[in-house]
Copies of this chain bind each other. A is one copy, B any other.
């Protein structure tokens, strides 16, 4: 039987009930290496174990994403991404407020013109 990336990396036999094998296939060793570096394999296994089976794939993906963020940015990790997104939201809201003020101004001018015509 092919060992999953987690068992291959740890040089142990990959049993049929290996909890990591569905989420860390042997053809993507980098994926396992990332989460192992940040959380350790045992911790990832424990976190997945505590979840219902149908949610484990999404949890493994999220842990992989967070681990990649932390490897790329060892100081801020995924919190750095969150800060950037907050900044983007602030910028979009500022632009939106400006455009809405312009619309309100045009509407007020339109109403004024209509009143004068009556």
Contacts and interface: CB of A to CB of B under 8 A. Distances in A.
A74 B47 CA distance: 8
Interface of A: 38-40, 43, 47, 50-51, 55, 58-59, 61-63, 65-66, 70, 74-82, 85-86, 88-89, 92-93, 95-96, 99-100, 102-103, 106
Contact of A100 (B40, B66, B99): B99
Given A82-B82, A89-B88, A96-B95, A76 B59 contact: yes
Contact of A62 (B55, B75, B86, B89): B75
A114 B63 CA distance: 59
Contacts of A51: 74-75
